[in-house]
Amino acid sequence: MKILIDRNIYSDECISKCVYSLSEVFQCNRQLDGNTESIELIPTNGFISDEDTKRLFLQKLNDFKLRQIVAEETKDIRTILYAKAFADYEDFNIEEAE
């Protein structure tokens, strides 16, 4: 089964993570043509219907897209938390942080 993915919507990172997460179930052949990526999914462990294949792939793809969005939106917060967690106690002044 072939699935066409718009690279303006889904990054290479999202697609790569999706393909890797399904590598035990499908052999994936990727081909890029401009902003459209064609992914051929070949089941490795028996028969999986095209409908189930498409549903599983799109579910995983959207999951990784959402994870990417959340990571981008929380990047600054995570940076502050890391800095606070690894800062020397004497060097960190709570009143300055507020």
Does the structure show a pLDDT above 90 at 41?
yes
Average pLDDT over residues 9-35: 95
Per-residue pLDDT tens over the stretch 23-37: 999 999 999 999 999
Per-residue pLDDT tens over the stretch 46-98: 888 999 999 999 999 999 999 999 999 999 888 888 888 887 665 555 555 55
- Confidence (pLDDT) at 93: 59
DSSP 17-81: HHHHHTTTTEEEEEEEETTEEEEEEEESSS---HHHHHHHHHHHHHHHHHHHHHHHHTHHHHHHH
